[in-house]
Structure 1
Amino acid sequence: MQRHTALGGDEFAPETVYLNSAASGLLPARTAAALRDALAESASYGTMGRDYLGTAERARGAFARLMGVPAERVAVGSSVAVQSAFVAASLPAGSEVLVAEGDFSSLVNPLVAHGGCTVRAVPREALADAVRPGTALVAVSAVHAMDGRIADLAAVRDAARAHGALTYVDVTQAAGWLPVPVADFDYVVCGAYKWLLCPKGTTFMVFGGERTAHGDAGGPGWPVPVHAGWVAGEDPGESNYGPIERPAATARRYDEPHAHYSYAGAEQSLGLLAEIGVATVHAHNVALAEQYRAGLVAAGFTPRPAPGSAIVSTPGLADAEPRLAEAGVRVSVRGGLLRAAFHLYNSSEDVARALALLVS
């Protein structure tokens, strides 16, 4: 069996065997340093620092480069749920929204709670076939948070286009390790505090699909920026009072006022992932997950099928989580499944440690 060493070098030195990136990622050393610097700076320059808007712009650019999209198509925010509520508000009253059964609540619940849409849920594997005339939006997570199943996004995209539906993809559990053609979809949202290793409170939304053919934001097909505040103005310094006369001509018109400290760290985390490369991280993570999965099967367990995923979830092992935690191995229990998630800072030694505890 090939042995895989951790990626990232001195950026990571966890005291635990951390197999919990599907819950939240570890901060690289450079990101932790950036947070300390931002906190120290606020003692002299206030809690927005010396360059509040520039902090968001640099993080936006770093995310855009990592995803392979223009920065002008990226909005910054604070949570997936807020971005989902914005998507829901952009739909005409009575629109049918198609979602996968049991998808993550931050994606689905705002669409349901909005009340102006009819939300229809179908099995995840049947999502593409369930798109029909009259479907306005198809929403799905690229990778299921509970068990790591990877959605057939190409099939969803093609089915939606065939019926004139918009697509909304949550890449929170994918971005950073799984290459996703985000420009192919109308809305792509990402909570960046998991696999992208950013501080909590960082999200990005990409506006893609056919909108890329319509020039500036605000043209045909672009939604109304219903939650825009002063940062969304073409000139934020002149957009503090009254209605915003000129929203930004880019996706910045959909920005939320960002958490300064979180975004000060985000630029550093995203830069590290760009240096290593998503393709390299993908190969590393999947190889470790396959080693772990093979070890479980050899011990008589039956992990949930999730081909090509960095997440392995297994029934019948949830009771082992406290024992693993006591031994310094961090995993999660979701839906009665023991969930292990493998990322760049993990190694074959981590896999062996977890398996030894589970089969002892």
Structure 2
Amino acid sequence: METSLGGGEFAPARTYLDTSRCGLLPRRTVAAVTALAEAVAAGTAGGSGSFEAVDGARRGFARVAGVSPDRVAVGGSVAVHVGLVAHSLPPGAEVLFVEGDFGSLITPFTVRGDLKARFVPLEDLADAVRPGTALVAFSSVQSADGRVADLAAVREAAAAHGARTLLDATQSAGWLPLDAGAYDYTVTAGFKFLMCPRGASFLTVTEEAQESLVPIHAGWFAAADLDDPYGPAARLADTARRFDEPPAFLSYHGAEQSLALLGEIGVDAVHAHATALAARFREGLVRLGHSPVPGTSAVVGVPGLGARRPELAEAGVVVSARAGNLRAAFHLYNSAADVDRALDALS
């Protein structure tokens, strides 16, 4: 029977199929966070954390995203990254969204009140791009049910109409190969399939798109010269670091380790492993008379079955209920035995 890819890095107490909500932390990540916390408590950390660890996490995400570290900004949440992009748009600009996409990708635009927000079904997204569209903001994988966007079609449509693209890779980065350089912006929360502590998130920006972004939350860490923290920065960093939020060091000490582990295993290996488990789960659901959302996603949504989440929890199987769907997400630390336990609980 297929085993996990995690080796001795993970020790879940239950059958954990809820990475779409929160990923499990590897042992090395827990050790790094604990070591920093103890050093800060003892006054031996030389401050609250290490900038080298932050840049290690930046490099680790850059490897996952297929871009140079100079194109990666760090922060604390997707909503803050999206807010930076939303602030850059001129009044009246049209932003195209997917109906029912995650709120952190949408609300920073709609709260402005002077942008045109247009919503279409996921399957119509590419066809809905038009000459007046300034930005297409969409998730690679839908949080509610695991559907995967037609990424190539959306990119082609945006390019044909002069629209920029903002991809939220939160539900895919870590199991689905990512080419962040193919989008003007990507945003990714680290606490799901990247298995980072919450408080680590990543923004990628192409060189051309950087010109229109104003680093509205620039602090000392965004300056070109980190040796002089007083007064206004004489010059901001020439890289995407000028869009950094001041980092949450505990989160980033852990993120460096989680992303290193993911780099050792490889996203391609995780993709093959996780999607095979998801396919096994879909096949089992059909045998039980259920109708899961079709596709090859590592995230499986089962319409109308969300109410059975508490029942599965009692059986020791952790899943989510989203928009009426039962949602199971498979990752490198899962195995075929996990799939079979979930199916047994549902039968």
CA positional deviation for 1:209: 7.0
The answer to whether residue 258 in structure 2 is matched with residue 269 in structure 1 is yes
Instruction: Report what 1:58 is aligned to.
Output: 56
Instruction: Report what 1:214 is aligned to.
Output: none
CA positional deviation for 1:9: 0.4
Distance in 2 between the 1:77 and 1:60 partners? 10
Distance in 2 between the 1:208 and 1:70 partners? 10
TM-score relative to the length of structure 2: 0.97
Matched AA of 1:185: Y
Look up the SS of the partner of 2:203 in the other structure: strand
8 Å CA contact 1:315–1:336 kept in 2: the answer is yes
CA positional deviation for 1:4: 1.7
Matched AA of 2:88: S
- Identify if the C-alpha distance between structure 1 residues 102 and 46 changes in structure 2 by more than 3 Å, giving closer, same or farther: farther
1:319 to 286, 301, 307: 307
Instruction: Report what 2:218 is aligned to.
Output: 228
Instruction: Report what 2:324 is aligned to.
Output: 336
- Identify if the C-alpha distance between structure 1 residues 173 and 240 changes in structure 2 by more than 3 Å, giving closer, same or farther: farther
Instruction: Report what 1:258 is aligned to.
Output: 247
Instruction: Report what 1:201 is aligned to.
Output: 199
Matched AA of 2:346: L
Look up the SS of the partner of 2:165 in the other structure: strand
Look up the SS of the partner of 1:238 in the other structure: coil
8 Å CA contact 1:184–1:209 kept in 2: the answer is no
The answer to whether residue 49 in structure 2 is matched with residue 30 in structure 1 is no
Distance in 1 between the 2:322 and 2:46 partners? 37
- Identify if the C-alpha distance between structure 1 residues 303 and 271 changes in structure 2 by more than 3 Å, giving closer, same or farther: same
Matched AA of 1:163: H
Distance in 2 between the 1:255 and 1:274 partners? 23
CA positional deviation for 1:114: 1.9
Instruction: Report what 1:80 is aligned to.
Output: 78
Instruction: Report what 1:238 is aligned to.
Output: 228
CA positional deviation for 1:316: 3.2
Look up the SS of the partner of 1:235 in the other structure: coil
8 Å CA contact 1:100–1:127 kept in 2: the answer is yes
Instruction: Report what 1:90 is aligned to.
Output: 88
Instruction: Report what 1:109 is aligned to.
Output: 107
Task: Percent identity, please.
Answer: 54
CA positional deviation for 1:48: 7.6
Distance in 1 between the 2:39 and 2:121 partners? 50
Gaps of 5+ in 1: 212-216
CA positional deviation for 1:326: 1.4
Distance in 2 between the 1:159 and 1:318 partners? 35
8 Å CA contact 1:88–1:117 kept in 2: the answer is no
TM-score relative to the length of structure 1: 0.93
Instruction: Report what 2:140 is aligned to.
Output: 142
Gaps of 5+ in 2: none
Aligned residues: 347
- Mapping 1:153-164, distance limit 5 Å: 153-164=151-162
8 Å CA contact 1:41–1:49 kept in 2: the answer is no
Look up the SS of the partner of 1:195 in the other structure: coil
Q: Which runs of 4+ in 1 moved over 4 A?
A: none
Distance in 2 between the 1:69 and 1:239 partners? 29
